[in-house]
Amino acid sequence: MLSTRAALLPSRLTVATKAAVVAGHRQAALTAVRSRDSVRSIQSVVQTDRDTITRLLYSLGTKREVERHLRIFSSCSHPSQPAKFAVIKIGGAVLDDLEELALSLSFLYRVGLYPVVLHGAGPQMNDILEGEGVKPEYIDGIRVTDSKTLQIARRVFLEENLKLVDALEKLGTRARPITSGVFTATALDSPKYGLVGKITRVDKRPIEASIRAGALPILCSLAESNEGQILNVNADVAAGELAKELEPMKIVFINEKGGLYHGVTGEKLDVINLDEEYDQLMKEPWVKYGTKLKLREFKELLDVLPRSSSVAVISTANLQRELFTDSGAGTLIRRGYKLFKHQTLQSIGKDRLRQVISERDEGVRTGKESIAGVLSALENAKPGEWSIYADEPLDAVAIVSHPEGQIPVLTKLLASRAGVLNGVLDNVWNALKKDHRQLVWTASISAPTAPSPLSHPAQGEDMMDRSWHFDRAEGSFTRSGRSLFFYGISDASEVEKVVKNLEQSGRVGRSYLPVGLVKAQLGGSRGYATLARRPGVPNGSRGYATHAPPPSTEPKRVTLIGARGYTGQALTSLLNTHPYLSLTHVSSRVLEGHALEGYAKSPITHTNLSVENVERMEKQGEVDAWITALPNGVCKPFVDAIEKGSKERQGEGSVVVDLSADYRFEDGWTYGLPELYGRADIRASKRISNPGCYATSTQLLIAPLLPYLAPPAWPTVFGVSGYSGAGTVTRPGEAGTRPLTLPKVTPESLGGGIRPYSLTDHIHEREAGWHLSKLLSATLNAKPRVQLAFIPTVAPFFSGILSTLSFPLSTSTLSASDIASLYASHYAGERLVRTQKGVPSLGDVQGQHGWVVGGVQVHSGLERVVVVGGLDNLLKGAATQCLQNLNLALGYDEYAGIPVEGDAA
């Protein structure tokens, strides 16, 4: 039962929201009038407005909790797919309380979120029909619609749509009425239902155009046939079809009840995990009529959406609480995963568990523990002394040690980003909490001292911050960055007893235990301790914050060795617009004496730098960063000269980014694929090997699927590249003129077709397998090798790579939407990665600075998935990735000088 204070929160938040939204609107308008020429002033007010409303959310949950949800929702959309946040369906009855509805939607708008809003108007239509002496008629729950009813429906929909748009605009929230052009339909059953439509197509372009223009799209559920006939469509059905097309993270149904309710007890259902509970729920005697229909509709909808999507049934007043807190306020319906409780390594799969530990366990990745030690402890324990809670794909894994007569200890809690995002971690936590009325566990608050190259977006650590632990504990001790958490322990004397037992048994590391007596710790100053926190009451003081240093803006000097080829030209163009980097020397033997084209910051003439020149320049500190864009096997003398010069250089040596394959397998060099192998090592490195173009696309395709490898069946990648990837040749110009740079393979030589080459043992095949093996590495002494087959092909277009992956699966439980969701989760927040539904085409990659993936299809036998990825071989496959690495190593923002899609010009 809610406390009085908690019960009052929604109403107080509504009042505060109204004040903040209206005040923010007025202040923004006033500032705009006073400072029409100051874009910065207006942007500052907008940011202040957002910050103010974000702070209001903290009254609903902890600061970390709110910020985590904001971060997840903000990162789920991309400029190319801006409608990924939410579809909100508003029942007609809710439109009667227009002010509160507009405030709730404006709230989302002001924190930078753009839901797609679709409304009904059933009660309003019934009032008008009854006023005109027409009794509404329903068959099978569907409104029978004749021409008069349709005429009224159209008028009512337009009126209600404009009312909502007007209410939003008055609050300073831009909104766009979209009452046609989205839904195409055919007649459902004309003799039976009249002018009622069955949606056959959803055109999302008007919706996305509205969001890109900074306006909330407000839709109604009218459709048109191909012949132009307007058709009435049930609003719930329209919302479902809209969600299938957009694949949003949230599908929200706002009604007066604010949730689904238990038919016997009358209590609101908080969460329904369909994979776990659907079959049993449908057998319950109290689940009937409307409730059974709703559950069936929700399941059919979520079955075709990614697992990251969920449905929420909520009232207007509690919309923010549902979206921005873990506890929610309405009813959350999600697919979830069936959970399993394992008590033998054989039942979970020893090799699968080994891989999860190697990828996600901080202690293992930093060398403080070994996988062999973790597995050995489980194998040597007595039967029944431990349990592993996990879902089938192992997106969330919890290992609990519970010897008879001793307090249970959670020894491992390992989650992927998908596990956190899709609520699997919460399900696992709830399962183990049901089994154990008391529990102790630990977490390190300080950052790892040695970041691992295995750190990548599949890990959920950045989304499961330490406040996650604090929020689920009833008490804790913290000292020197290490915390001991517990629940189910009622008083200090019992805590003291537990701590002594843990110390004597060695079941928890000594560094996590409080120093001295527990009673002294509760009032002492050595660390801090909390006890018996009331569940559900936010306590923002218990969180912590870390702040990364601001990116550097210090100007730096770059020398490019190997500027003649297409990659050198692409690099020159990028550096020409970089805010902090300037080219000082450009070396090309063939172009020596000729002016550098495409660079406007300063006039530069090509030189032919010798090894001696390079050593001298490095020794005298003339260069901050070197880029070597030379053919394979050529750059070593230059790198050796830089190494020699740096030893005699005063101060810090320069950074080298090499674009050849020469150092991609070398110790002492950092492999620069930020999206997979982490940024920390690149930031700390002076020697970076830039990945190959094919190898980049291949690794980005395979990495999210590594947990589902099925050796000895290995993946195959078929790659098609533009002819620029084959390199260039030069031809002397006429007397005194500039030499010509020509493609080594011309389109004409291909005769309009494609040409496979290097059919086995291509260097990028070895490169991709080598580095993917690191992601799969189990222990320092056992390094399983990832094998793959790669077949490159050159085609008669200039640039771009399309890579088609065929990946054998170790499980038959994954659908195409599951795997698409896996990619979306794995690369969530990556600004140079875009996921899409359709198969990437050449137009999706040519001239683009990122990597795109899509076209996921699972074979009918469920044993193989095919995925297509693509990039521009000269950009993300070379120059853009080089600039990412250079930015990180020099302390700049990673994307400085890179035209990231969606950034303001």
Q: How far is residue 77's CA from residue 250's CA, in Å, rounded to a whole number?
A: 12
| Beta carbons of 576 and 598 less than 8 angstroms apart | yes
How far the first Cα of the chain sits from its last, in Å, is 52
Provide CB contacts within 8 A for 265, sequence distance 6+.
none
* Neighbouring residues of 418: CB distance < 8 A, sequence distance ≥ 6: 307, 308, 395, 424, 458, 460, 821, 822, 825, 826
CA angle 192, 198, 204 (to 5 degrees): 160
**Sign of dihedral through CA atoms 274, 279, 284, 288?**
positive
- Report the relative pairing of strands 670-671 and 386-391 from DSSP bridges: unpaired
Contacts of 871 (CB under 8 A, 6+ apart): 693, 696, 697, 800, 801, 845, 848, 850, 851, 852, 877
* Residues 673, 676, 678, 684, Cα dihedral to 10°: -20
Total residue count of the chain as it appears in this document: 905
Distances (CA, A) of 245 to 207, 240, 838: 11, 9, 12
Strand 864-871 to 801-808 pairing: antiparallel
Evaluated on CA atoms 857, 859, 862, 867, the torsion sign reads negative
DSSP 551: P
DSSP code per residue over 721-739: EEGGGG-EEEE--STTSPP
Strand 409-415, strand 475-479: pairing? unpaired
Q: Are 171 and 102 in contact (CB under 8 A)?
A: yes
How many whole angstroms separate alpha carbon 175 and alpha carbon 167? 9
- Residue 316: helix, strand or coil by DSSP? helix
The shares of helix, strand and coil residues in the chain, as percent rounded to the nearest 5, are: 40, 20, 40
Q: Rounded to whole angstroms, how far apart are CA atoms 724 and 164?
A: 53
Cα 853 from Cα 833, distance rounded (Å)? 8
Q: Are 870 and 803 in contact (CB under 8 A)?
A: yes
Q: Where are the alpha helices (DSSP H) in 777-879?
A: 816-826, 842-845
Provide the Cα torsion 445, 451, 452, 453; round to 10°.
Answer: 140
Residue identified by tokens 């394992």 is: 342
Question: Which pairing describes strands 386-391 and 396-401: parallel, antiparallel, or unpaired?
Answer: antiparallel
Between CA 489 and CA 439 the distance in angstroms is: 8
Cα(353)–Cα(347) distance, integer angstroms: 10
Instruction: Tell me the C-alpha distance between 765 and 893, whole Å.
Output: 31
The pairing of beta strand 116-119 with beta strand 86-90: parallel
Question: How many angstroms separate the CA atoms of 257 and 313, rounded?
Answer: 9
What are the catalytic residues? 693
Classify residue 158 as exposed, middle or buried by CB count within 10 Å of its CB (0-12, 13-18, 19+). Answer: middle
- How many other C-beta atoms can be found within 10 angstroms of the C-beta atom of residue 746? 11
**Nearest-CA neighbor of 462 among 428, 512, 420?**
420
